[in-house]
């Protein structure tokens, strides 16, 4: 009873569970979901669902392990502070480099994906434009929003999220109605499935990245662990349901053999949306799907680049003046934009690299911090993730195996569907 009263006392008034859950779901779901049907085409529907369930569980546990560590510190303590105080300077540097790398590589991924989907949209209007140029236009327009202010990003992203929800359910709802169950359960072509699971693991991990928001939730709710746990669970579960619906909609409408053509064309967002557009009879619903894809990649780009913008401003000591923000914008957007111009079809490759770095800061480091914090605070009576040390070992192994799968795939040592 005393613990319940303390939780109530520590919970800020007016902070609903739904708000926290939406923060987690909004961060988790983004343009990365467009990689899931492509990389899952080898193992197909059944194994893709099993993979998502396993990854969802492991990423949920790593987030809760991060929360366990975070609750030993005052609300407002950053990921950087937690790593430094529990694991020391070496892991602090490793973690910081991993986060910066993820933010940069995702920026490039969304420039590539944005260029692809903008190019697809323009082709629908009869306008031909090189994909690299479309990516440049996409970047310049959205970079200006980030340059203006955080408030501008907040307002634009809120509008985009509303549009995403509406267009997603309109387009995907129609695709779900039109699915061919035999495509899901009896795929044609190559009947090998399980070997293709390993190469898809990193992309599944990248689709459940929300861990940077855990310290923010602690700051938002105080030390009300019960509400934060529910927010993380509900938010990630919403993402899981959306991904399952997305796999049903795509794999239930596009035959497995046709994914070979999508992969051969680079597997970018515009290619997948183009393939789905061909099976949608209504041009209006086709427009809704294209608009959803544009909003998804734009909102993901804004969210990631705002985090990178603030991180680099703090790192280099740039102030918030017009000249300071311009300097920050240059180091934020120029490197990934140059890569986007040189390698316009790197969406899938970039998501894979993001997952490689995420295995460190979103999986392995949270597990190690929880293990260390249990040694530093042996008498702590607050929240502790179930499963003891075996669960921590499981989460670390998941991170190591997923990272190893990406490296092996890069070396062409894992079977890849084509």
Report helix, strand or coil for 280. coil
Q: Would you say the C-alpha torsion 21, 165, 136, 120 has a positive or negative sign?
A: positive
CA angle 133/137/139 to nearest 5° reads: 115
CA proximity to 205, closest of 47, 26, 60: 60
Burial class of 10 by CB neighbour count within 10 A (0 to 12, 13 to 18, 19+): middle
Q: How far apart are CA 337 and CA 2, in angstroms?
A: 55
Q: Is 284 left (phi over 0), alpha (psi -120 to 50) or beta?
A: alpha
Q: How confident is the model at residue 363 (pLDDT cuts 50, 70, 90)?
A: very high
pLDDT at 188 over 70: no
Phi, psi (rounded to 5 degrees) for 218: -65, -40
pLDDT of residue 13: 47
Report helix, strand or coil for 189. coil
Where are the domains positioned within the chain? 17-377+386-411
Q: Is the CB of residue 292 less than 8 Å from the CB of residue 215? A: no
- Mean pLDDT is lowest, of 5-9, 87-91, 92-96, 302-306, for 5-9
pLDDT at 189 over 70: no
CA proximity to 143, closest of 114, 180, 177: 114
Give the percent of the chain with pLDDT over 70. 96
In angstroms, the first-to-last Cα distance of the chain is 59
Whole-prediction pTM value?
0.85
Write the DSSP string, 96-107: HHHHHHHHHHHH
Q: What is the dihedral of CA 350, 49, 62, 305, to 10 degrees?
A: 30
CATH 3.40.470.10 corresponds to the domain 17-377+386-411: no
pLDDT in tens, 50-88: 999 999 999 999 999 999 999 998 888 878 888 999 999
pLDDT in tens, 216-231: 888 888 888 899 999 9
Which residues, including other chains, have CB under 8 Å from residue 156's CB and lie 6 or more apart? 145, 302
């Amino acid at each position: 009873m005393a613990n319940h009263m303390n939780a109530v006392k520590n919970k800020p008034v007016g902070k609903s569970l739904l708000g926290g859950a939406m923060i987690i779901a909004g961060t988790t779901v983004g343009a990365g979901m467009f990689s899931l049907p492509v990389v899952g085409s080898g193992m197909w529907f059944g194994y893709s669902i099993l993979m998502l369930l396993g990854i969802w569980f492991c990423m949920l546990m790593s987030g809760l392990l991060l929360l366990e560590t975070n609750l030993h510190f005052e609300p407002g303590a950053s990921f950087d502070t937690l790593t430094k105080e529990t694991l020391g300077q070496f892991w602090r540097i490793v973690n910081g480099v991993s986060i910066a790398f993820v933010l940069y590589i995702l920026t490039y991924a969304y420039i590539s994906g944005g260029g692809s989907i903008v190019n697809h949209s323009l082709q629908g209007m009869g306008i031909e434009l090189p994909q690299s140029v479309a990516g440049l236009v996409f970047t310049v327009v959205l970079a200006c929003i980030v340059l203006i202010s955080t408030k501008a990003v907040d307002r634009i992203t809120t509008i985009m999220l509303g549009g995403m929800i509406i267009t997603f359910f309109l387009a995907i709802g129609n695709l779900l109605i039109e699915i061919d169950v035999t495509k899901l359960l009896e795929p044609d072509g190559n009947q090998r499935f399980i070997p293709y699971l390993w190469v898809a693991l990193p992309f599944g991990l990248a689709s459940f990245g929300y861990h940077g928001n855990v310290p923010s939730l602690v700051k938002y709710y105080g030390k009300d662990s019960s509400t934060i746990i529910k927010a993380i669970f509900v938010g990630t579960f919403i993402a899981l349901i959306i991904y399952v619906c997305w796999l049903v909609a795509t794999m239930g409408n596009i035959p497995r053999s046709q994914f070979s053509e999508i992969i051969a064309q680079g597997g970018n967002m515009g290619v997948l949306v183009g393939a789905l557009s061909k099976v949608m009879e209504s041009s209006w619903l086709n427009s809704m799907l294209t608009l959803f894809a544009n909003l998804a990649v734009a909102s993901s780009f804004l969210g990631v680049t705002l985090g990178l913008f603030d991180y680099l401003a703090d790192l280099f000591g740039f102030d918030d003046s017009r000249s300071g923000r311009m300097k920050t914008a240059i180091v934020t957007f120029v490197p990934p934009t140059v890569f986007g111009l040189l390698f316009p079809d790197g969406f899938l490759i970039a998501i894979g690299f993001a997952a490689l770095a995420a295995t460190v800061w979103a999986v392995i480091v949270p597990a190690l911090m929880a293990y260390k914090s249990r040694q530093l605070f042996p008498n702590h009576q607050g929240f502790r993730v179930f499963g003891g040390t075996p669960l921590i070992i499981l989460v670390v192994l998941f991170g190591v195996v997923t990272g190893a799968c990406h490296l092996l795939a890069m070396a062409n040592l894992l079977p890849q569907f084509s």
